[in-house]
């Protein structure tokens, strides 16, 4: 299950890069946060798939649950912004511009102040935005993590 979770994350990241570099969609700060969360989930799930010790599996599953919850929260917030766009459309500077211009302790809070560009709906599939799909995928990852936490360890 962890290998499939890692593969899902890699596929989602590849699709996000496709949308950015081929289609030309610029990610907002909330998209960047979700992207980095997917990278962490992929790395943890990949490590969990390689090291199959029962205790390690539980630690990885718990960490995945926390990361998936965080990713789902950011995606839900972005979805809410898309459904209820703010009057002043200003997401601020792009992520890389913020990193270059401000110290890290100021950048982190700026990233989570999503509005404006974060509320833009640039792409949909089956009526759902990228943030909606991201939310659903983070819920799927959380369900996998919960399943792993609830599973009894296999004796080899």
Catalytic site residue from 9, 31, 106, 152: 31
Tell me if residue 9 is catalytic: no
Which of 9, 35, 53, 152 is flagged as catalytic?
35
Is residue 91 annotated as part of the catalytic site, yes or no? yes
DSSP 43-97: HHHHHHHH---HHHHHHHHHHHHHHHHHHHHHHHHHHHHHHS--SS----S-HHH
Distance between alpha carbon 5 and the CA centroid of its chain, in Å?
Answer: 13
The catalytically annotated residue of 53, 118, 152, 154 is 118
Q: Which of 9, 77, 91, 106 is catalytic?
A: 91
Active site annotation includes 118: yes
* Cβ 129 vs Cβ 121: under 8 Å: yes
Active-site positions read 28, 31, 35, 91, 118
């Amino acid at each position: 299950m962890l290998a499939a979770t890692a593969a899902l994350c890699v596929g989602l990241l590849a699709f996000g890069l496709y949308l950015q570099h081929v289609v030309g969609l610029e990610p907002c700060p909330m998209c960047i946060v979700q992207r980095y969360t997917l990278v962490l989930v992929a790395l943890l799930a990949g490590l969990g798939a390689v090291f199959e010790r029962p205790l390690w599996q539980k630690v990885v599953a718990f960490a995945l649950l926390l990361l998936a919850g965080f990713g789902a929260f950011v995606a839900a917030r972005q979805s809410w912004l898309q459904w209820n766009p703010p009057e002043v459309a200003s997401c601020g500077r792009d992520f890389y511009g913020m990193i270059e211009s401000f110290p890290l302790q100021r950048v982190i809070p700026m990233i989570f102040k999503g509005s404006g560009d974060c509320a833009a709906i640039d792409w949909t599939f089956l009526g759902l935005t990228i943030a909606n799909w991201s939310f659903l995928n983070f819920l799927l990852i959380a369900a996998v993590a919960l399943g792993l936490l609830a599973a009894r360890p296999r004796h080899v």
